[in-house]
Amino acid sequence: MSHITTTSTPAASGWLARLAAVARHALQLHLQTCAIIAEAHRRPQ
C-alpha cells in the first residue's frame, strides 16, 4: 500500500488542501448566515 500513497501524495495533498479551503469558505458563509438570522430575530417587529 505504501507505494500507492507515496506516488499519489502531491495530488492527494493538493486535493485535500482544496477541500479544506472549500470547507473553510462554507463554514464562513454559514456563520455569516447565522449572524444575519440572529440579527433578524433580535429586531423588534
Residue range of the domain that includes 22: 2-42
User: What local confidence, expressed as pLDDT, does residue 10 receive?
Assistant: 63
Quote the CA–CA distance of 14 and 7 in Å, as a whole number.
Answer: 13
Count of structural domains within the chain: 1
User: What local confidence, expressed as pLDDT, does residue 32 receive?
Assistant: 98
Q: What is the pLDDT of residues 3-41, one digit of tens each?
A: 554 455 667 789 999 999 999 999 999 999 999 999 999
Cell of 9: 501524495
Quote the CA–CA distance of 45 and 40 in Å, as a whole number.
Answer: 9
Hunting for cell 488542501 — which residue is that? 17
Residue 20 in 3-state DSSP? Answer: helix
